[in-house]
Chains A and B, each alone.
Chain A
Amino acid sequence: MNAGLGGAADIIGILLSTIFVAAILIWVERRLLAVWQDRLGPNRVGPLGLLQVAADMIKMFFKEDWIPPFADKLVFVLAPTIVFITMLTGFAVIPFAPGVGIIDFNFGLLYFLALTSLAVYSVVLAGYASNNKYSLLGSLRAAAQTVSYEVFMGISIMGVVMLAGTFNLREIVEAQRDGWFILPQFAGFVVFMVAAIAESRRAPFDLPEAEQELIAGFHTEYSGMKFGMFFVGEYLGITLASAMIVTLFFGGWLGPWLPPLVWFCLKTAIGILFFILVRGSLPRPRYDQLMSFGWKVMLPAALLNLLVTGAVALYSV
């Protein structure tokens, strides 16, 4: 256990900064998508449109908090909080820098996988509780998609675990002192990246909420702050996913000249921008294409990567 972890300053600082990042991403994503699509994006409220976040928040808070009379009320209210809570608690194991973080857990990597798999319930229960056919279709898709992509998300990072010899995220970062794992584990990185996009249900894998087919999918019946929870939960999800990618494949806080925390935030920011670029540039596949791509391409690729990494690890010992 690391002595400097888990202080009140750490907890409050990490909580506030992750929520701030998730909120500001609403603006960042819309502006960046606009730039890449040759438009302006929101630029009316405040300098560069930065206060758009505040305007959106005011709108959401003052909307009527409506629960449809045909909904399963308790589950309807519970569903949006699950994604928010699981994603926020996921940040507990992220190694921001030496001495900055909340806990130093020996199974940090598995803890992250556990929380991402619990986050599915948010979408699934939202669709069930809404009692609406589009919501139900959306959440059925979400359940199948997440369970499938979770399988090789887990397998793809086992190569990293083999090379580092531990599930502890801090030790994984330290193990990358001689070279980032992106080079020996490039296949694992690609599979993990695809799975992370699918797990966070963002375009091009946003089939659970595909607007053109399902209105808004699982959150069709949600409005006001409950919708806001899903919205911010999604941004928390991509922030967590890119922090995880940085930790596993890009050497976490390691880097020359700058302090470790700055390196970590910089790399995570680039990861988030990449997520937005992917959303802005790729078309959405059909649902059956998504599933067969997952099981027929990604799963064998992840297993092959595992096999080769295992062979190399055995040979070099």
Chain B
Amino acid sequence: MHHLNRRQLLGSSAVALVLMSPLAHAAIIKGGLPWKPGSADPPTQVKPGGWHYFTQQEAATVEAFVDRLIPPDPQTPGGKDIGCAVFIDRQLAGPNGRNENFYMAGPFQQGTKQQGPQSPLTTAQQYRKALAALNEACGGRYGGKVFADLSDDQKDEVIAGLENGSFKLDGFDGQSFFSLILTDTRNGFLADPIYGGNKDMAAWKMIGFPGTHYDYRDWIDRHNERVTLPTVSIASHPNWSQ
């Protein structure tokens, strides 16, 4: 039996997501469990370098923003170095950025908070619009400077103002944008590194989450003990070569 190692499995081209099926039109299944080799669908490792969705200025804005949301400290990198902007960029460039899984039919109208987001814009479009409005608003408040060129204190002022609604953006709701980028930044921080953030599993190491171990039977009874297993992720384990 041919054993694929993990690298080979992950290196093979990933099939497109969700609504596609390896079997066209309808699978008629009878007489046994169906199985077709090569039909697994592992995630594809995001490779840093370049931007797939953001323009240079958008990328610079987002890198600056995520680095204030999660600032660097001596133990753990901040949002920028840990890859949060890369994570967001790759998500926006893909089907999630296009909201392919959302119900996107109209008519569109704002409802109550309990009815949830009702925007006709995709998430990718929202970022584009909001980032432009953000830089414009900063220019107005801070003598022509874009967000990325502000001092850290000024950036924090802006972010706090977006959060509490006092810093207004033209044509976009600042509080909605703050919520969106905060969620995406946290996702980039703490998701599996295969998606471009959480570089070297630094965020998992920070909190003490050992990652993608599957078997804790030797640990379930060891109450109140620190787990000494190495931190691992979908694509990395200390025993595997790069």
**A and B interact:** no
Using a CB–CB cutoff of 8 Å, the interface residues on chain A facing chain B are: none
